[in-house]
Structure 1
């Protein structure tokens, strides 16, 4: 079947009600929902509404994710803070951490908040864009369960560890760079598995350093430790895989050492064969542009840089050069009047959620 688009407002109402029935307070449910829907609005489908059940609802049921978020500020200075999330909803913890960083930046020019004992916080770009909306520069990163092998290694040690930057410009969209420090990430492999597609060679390696391309098999092998993602740059040093490996390590350190949180193999989600909270770490940085220069001048210079890049000489056969944030804007322009794209498998999953959470009034929307 062709993709079906469901209006954003319908999905928003449905997801808030599902999360509330799962035990999440309504205001927190709205934050979680907004983060997931924003991912779909900008084309980050691997981190969109498709993750509602497997990453959040199922983990709440398993008792490894607290639906009620009681985060705690354990240390604070004028421009800094450390937060313990106590295994609550990662989106809620991250939203409040970036909000705190923004408030500090507005007062003193910069703010940084480090978080420990959190959970999956969804689309990292959401938090960078929170700063952008306030005419600030936003930076965030998070560690994750082990899936990347170090260069010349085959054991999954580091998380996909995105390093994300958002900056305002004078264009219709900001500069937004939100990408994992691996060639791909687990969410995209999940997307390939749902679509029955084969993975490109070089994304995943087995215990012998050979490429694996069966998406469903890879998802099982990543958990079992029989496969690992390759860092940005790919296998070995010839295509500079050590650079992605290095940047992933930077994110791991900043997501664990400042806040004295868990890292690498501590983040598997298992202990003695039993499921346990993931205890992820994040960091959030907000920078007040006006502490350096006029905001409009910054935006114009940033915009000029992006426009000159797009106007540069193109490779033969290519009609367009993109800058970070542009494709996301194009997706939003296409989807803003259509909604969230659903394939047949996702429709079935949401239809079952209607049954499981007694929300039959929404079921008609999820018919294929």
Structure 2
């Protein structure tokens, strides 16, 4: 088992803010980026939080594929819609701006939709769904990504993991938020299997012969060199509905690219023809719906809550003691981590320390203080 230590939300958010700022990001934008990232850790989604701070953001700033200052341009706008160009700035800053604009339009007119081109990785899509839910609005958002999913009956990486994320408020302590990729799994989960030396479940990854790959090391190598691809939700072929995940991934690709004349599919690889790193030019979309335009907000939240409670109270399979609804596990993780902090393995700790040393940031983590006290 991996050795982990725990760090508070506040400490990690403060350090990431300092790190982004040291890398050249303006303070207000650094705070936005850190706030989006820590939300992932708060919700127990370790694949998209502080663990990605260095490899996905700081490293990309250093290699020039992510700009430190975000220039957001309004390309086209109506009362209820807008198209923004992020000019390859910070995806978190662009995402918050776009979602806020969609919410503002929905507040005035009932519906607001914003499409974005030339953006970068915007963190967990669920962050933007939570923004809308806090305003008593329904949210649909999605983003395309570097190609990693093969289409049904195909073996070549074409589509990104392309999450289709939906959220809405309820009368419970937490909103309903479904935030997941349109692939069965993601690279981060495969990396976890590699770290613990365990074979992956059958059907997560397909090779050039169309066969399932269960060795995580071979899968990671193949995903890097193009000889393997992730499978869409439902898995290989059509027997378990792989065409459904493929179809939804395509929907997200179209709404993230065609709606705003953006880049798509293999143009999003982040690698030039010469093999050098290049900017990603990702696209996103954000739809906010004001519940008051359709019904009383409290009525909507009560009926929604009744639906979710009925689902959780339904008959359970033998050996199972609980049924969950979307957003519940994340809320429970949040309550637990309020007490314990965020678990950090050795790799993540070393990445944070390396950023601190590279930028000579004056900062001490809580786990370092405890180590000194115990020595």
> TM class by shorter-chain length?
over 0.9
Please give the secondary structure, in 2, of the residue aligned with 1:258: helix
The answer to whether the 8 A contact 1:351-1:363 is kept is: no
8 A contact 1:354–1:362 mirrored in 2: no
1:145 aligned residue: 146
How far the C-alpha of 1:223 sits from its partner, in A, is: 2.8
- Distance (whole Å) between structure 2 residues aligned to residue 216 and residue 22 of structure 1: 32
Which of structure 1's runs of 4+ aligned residues deviate more than 6 A? Answer: none
CA distance in 1, matches of 2:68, 2:220: 26
Q: CA deviation at 1:213?
A: 2.7
How far apart in 2 are the matches of 1:207 and 1:260?
Answer: 31
Alignment match, 2:350: 348
Q: For the residues of structure 2 that align with 1:34 and 1:214, how far apart are their CA atoms?
A: 35
Q: Give the deviation of 1:156 after TM superposition.
A: 0.7
Q: CA deviation at 1:214?
A: 3.3
Q: Which residue of 2 aligns with 1:301?
A: 303
Separation in 2, partners of 1:170, 1:36: 26
Match for residue 278 of structure 1 among 261, 271, 280:
280
The 10-residue stretch of structure 1 (198-207 or 294-303) with the greater mean CA deviation from structure 2: 198-207
Unmatched runs of 5 consecutive residues or more in structure 2: none
Structure 1 unaligned blocks of 5 or more: none
Partner SS, residue 179 of structure 2: strand
Structure 1 segment 241-256 matched on structure 2, within 5 A: 241-256=242-257
List per-residue Cα deviations over 1:299-335 (Å, max 9, x = no partner): 0000000011111111111111111011111111111
Instruction: Please give the residue correspondences for 1:224-263 in structure 2 after superposition, counting only pairs within 5 Å.
Output: 224-263=225-264
Partner Cα separation in structure 1 for residue 193 and residue 81 of structure 2: 40
> Deviations for 1:42-83, whole angstroms, at most 9, x for unmatched residues?
111111110001100000000011011111111000000000
Distance in 2 of aligned mates of 1:218 and 1:362: 37
Aligned residues: 368
Using the alignment, how far apart are the partners of 2:312 and 2:180 within structure 1? 20
* Aligned equivalent of 1:155: 156
Checking the alignment, whether the CA contact within 8 Å between 2:167 and 2:177 is kept in structure 1 is yes
Query: Counterpart of 1:28?
Result: 29
CA displacement at 1:219 relative to structure 2:
2.8
Structure 1 residue 239: Cα displacement: 0.3
Task: State the alpha-carbon separation in 2 of the partners of residues 355 and 284 from structure 1.
Answer: 38
Aligned to 2:9: 8
Which one is further off, 34-43 or 337-346? 337-346
CA RMSD of aligned residues (A): 1.4
- Using the alignment, how far apart are the partners of 1:41 and 1:196 within structure 2? 27
Structure 1 residues 13 and 345, CA gap change in structure 2 (3 angstroms): same
Within a 5 Å distance, the mapping from 1:197-236 to structure 2 comes to 197-236=198-237
Residues 350 and 366, structure 1, Cα contact 8 Å, conserved in 2: no
